[in-house]
Amino acid sequence: MKKIMLVFGTRPEAIKMAPLIKELEKRENIKTLVCVTAQHREMLDQVLDIFNIVPDYDLDIMKESQTLSYITSSILNKIDKIMKKESPDVVVVHGDTTTTFATSLAAFYNKIKIAHVEAGLRTYNKYSPYPEEINRQMVGLISDYNFAPTKLTANNLIEEGKDKGSIFITGNTAIDTLAYTIDEDYYDENIEWVGDSRLILLTVHRRENIGKAMEDIFEAVRKVLEKFEDIKVIYPLHKNPEVRKYAKKYFADLDRVKLIEPLDVVKFHNLINKSYLVMTDSGGIQEEAPALGKPVLVLRNETERKEGVESGTLRLLGTDKENIFKNTCEILENEKIYQKISSSKNPYGDGRASEKIADILQREDI
């Protein structure tokens, strides 16, 4: 029996690992263990509840305004004992968070094989996104099996000198998750509030945007609201207190903006599905929204989701307020442009990534 331990700690990792956990649990010759670091607490628990995942281990590390060094050192200290006790054949990590990096380092110290889901995404800019670009490059150095979502991400790894035999193109498990969450008849209080208006779904949380960039983004959104009376904005706030401070400063007084607590993933995915446009600095939403035919305005200077930009569904706007305002107006005003974007092809797979990854992890030579 092969023992596979999946480790994750934040909301997006959980959302994208959930279908893989479900898939591995179906396989008879695999023992699946789940360890959460709880780098996020409430936002992680929301996902665990929805998917009925009960972790075997919970490191429970989160504290308010935690630093990167704190996250790294507390995970390293706590997970080492678990790896020694369980001695799994493979540790599976996801993406580019500090949980991903610290867990991979601990697995390397214990000479346990590392499988990296969502491997090969790159901007090659050390500070953008920060610290995710370096997290994923460091994991890329020590990983044994690399599940790249697309050809482009696989090529990044090949060009970096990774062994071709260690790289598998699988699609992104985010698309698999949509099959669990999306219901075309879905209706709830948020959708009711939107009514006949056009909804802009907004999320902004990145560390590198906190401060001036966030203020510029929010000013641009305010200008859009002044110009278009049929627009409403829903912004589920990240739990980070810094993010909340800025959001409340810019939006608390506006009737057509709803600032709400983080939504569970079923509510959130269905809200994307009912939206007109998505404005975000998130990573995962750049994959989900194209699969649901929604244009995404990316509020970052760089994106590692270059396939989405090439396919036309993502527009990389940076954080300059005039540029954000101009591009948003163009899409809201021009039906032809809107239709062209929303009919672009989703480049992130066919919803069978978890199945492909589980097939590979099950192989005898792995």
307 contacts 152 by C-beta, under 8 angstroms: yes
Structure-token pair, residue 173 = 């498990």
Structure-token pair, residue 317 = 């706007």
Of the pair 300, 356, the CB lying nearest ligand UDP is at 300
Is 97 a residue that touches ligand UD1 (CB under 6 A)?
A: yes
Nearest approach, Cβ of residue 143 and ligand UD1 (Å) = 17
Packing angle, helices 353-362 and 173-181, rounded to 10: 120
- By CB atoms closer than 10 A (0-12, 13-18, 19+), residue 360 is middle
For this structure, is 159 an active site residue? no
For this structure, is 205 an active site residue? yes
- 241-280 mask for ligand UD1 (x: CB under 6 A)? x---------------------------------------
Nearest approach, Cβ of residue 364 and ligand UD1 (Å) = 34
Nearest approach, Cβ of residue 28 and ligand UD1 (Å) = 34
Residue 313: phi, psi to the nearest 5? -85, -25
Of the pair 83, 136, the CB lying nearest ligand UDP is at 136
- Please tell me the distance from the alpha carbon of residue 194 to that of residue 140, in angstroms, as a whole number: 43
- The strand ranges marked E within 184-336 are 198-203, 231-236, 257-260, 277-280, 296-298, 314-316
Nearest approach, Cβ of residue 263 and ligand UDP (Å) = 4
- Please tell me the distance from the alpha carbon of residue 291 to that of residue 347, in angstroms, as a whole number: 8
> What are the residues facing 145 on neighbouring strands?
115
Residue holding tokens 């959104």?
Answer: 221
Is 66 a residue that touches ligand UD1 (CB under 6 A)?
A: yes
For this structure, is 207 an active site residue? yes
Candidates 73-81, 190-198, 226-234, 260-268; binding stretch for ligand UDP (CB under 6 A): 260-268
Is 205 a residue that touches ligand UDP (CB under 6 A)?
A: yes
Is 308 a residue that touches ligand UDP (CB under 6 A)?
A: no
Structure-token pair, residue 247 = 């959001």
Contacts of 284 (CB under 8 A, 6+ apart): 12, 15, 16, 174
For this structure, is 86 an active site residue? no
Residue holding tokens 């893989």?
Answer: 20
> What are the residues facing 113 on neighbouring strands?
90
Is 262 a residue that touches ligand UDP (CB under 6 A)?
A: yes
Is 239 a residue that touches ligand UD1 (CB under 6 A)?
A: yes
- Please tell me the distance from the alpha carbon of residue 238 to that of residue 233, in angstroms, as a whole number: 15
Nearest approach, Cβ of residue 43 and ligand UD1 (Å) = 3
* Residue of 13, 23, 58, 96 marked active site: 96
Structure-token pair, residue 264 = 């569970």
SS3 254: coil
Of 138-177, which residues contact ligand UDP (CB under 6 A)?
none
Which option in ligand UDP, ligand UD1, none does residue 288 bind, with CB closer than 5 to 8 A by kind? Answer: ligand UDP
Residues that bind ligand UDP in the complex, under the rule CB under 6 A: 11-12, 15, 203, 205, 236, 262-263, 265, 268-269, 282-285, 288
Residues with a catalytic annotation lie at 96, 118, 132, 205, 207, 238
Residues that bind ligand UD1 in the complex, under the rule CB under 6 A: 10-12, 39-43, 64-66, 68, 71, 97-98, 131-132, 205, 207, 239-241, 283
